Amino acid sequence: MPESIAVDVPSGQPGKDVALVEPVSSAVGQVIESIKTGIKRGRYVPGQRLVEPDMVRDLGVSRGSVREALRRLEAEGLVQIELYRGASIRKMSRADFIQVNEIREVLEGLAASLAAQQIDDVGRAALIELEQDWDRGTRGWTYPEYNERFHNLIVEASANKALPVYIDQAKLLFFRLQFHRILRSAAAERRSRREHARIVAAILKGDAKAAERAMRDHVRKSSQDILSAPEEFFST
């Protein structure tokens, strides 16, 4: 039986709690996924307020579910909840970002190394097709969309089922795709594509060490772009 929650609603009897039969796991999960997707797509930026009534209306869930979702996201480090101000997307300091990016560099480097060792024919074909699709421009992807597919394919090719969870968390913590929208330039895209080409070549050759080096270098250079973002995107 799904867990239910109780919320206060206007009922003509002040103080009376009304049981709302709502699957917490489903409703709370819906709110969490909506916020995380908003972060990935740049709909939510660091410091942006998360207005409870708006989420209740837009998602069709209870206020209790929204609050529980925000509490869980606060525990994950994605949301900040302040007394009298409510919830907002958490800003990171530059020092915080550097530390999280060091973790991501190691994790994605490991994924590339394992992909070079574990990739099968299906994975090879998918990686080659992705690169060709981007070069032809037939899919209509933005660069962040293509880039996300690129990194996801490599993690998938690693055949390590635990890695996606940790890598996704690291990405969300510093809101990687939001900074794409702010900082991505044609020159940065060309550089990123050159780095991708080195990663793909190493993986397809089965050179685990070269794949790891190329991926770690790629993540490190991307972080330099993010660190050049305006001060307003970082906490003090």
Other CB atoms within 10 A of residue 194 CB: 10
Residue 42 has φ and ψ, to the nearest 5°, of 80, 10
- Can you tell me the distance from the alpha carbon of 207 to that of 113, in angstroms, rounded to the nearest whole number? 8
pLDDT tens, 121-169?
999 999 999 999 999 988 888 887 898 899 999 999 999 999 998 898 8
Determine the distance from the C-alpha atom of residue 43 to the mean position of all C-alpha atoms in its chain, rounded to a whole number: 12
The 10s digit of each residue's pLDDT in 72-82 is 999 988 899 99
> What sections of the chain are H helices per DSSP?
24-40, 52-59, 63-75, 94-118, 121-136, 143-157, 163-173, 176-183, 186-205, 208-227
Using CB atoms within 10 Å of the CB of residue 179, give its burial: 0 to 12 exposed, 13 to 18 middle, 19+ buried. buried
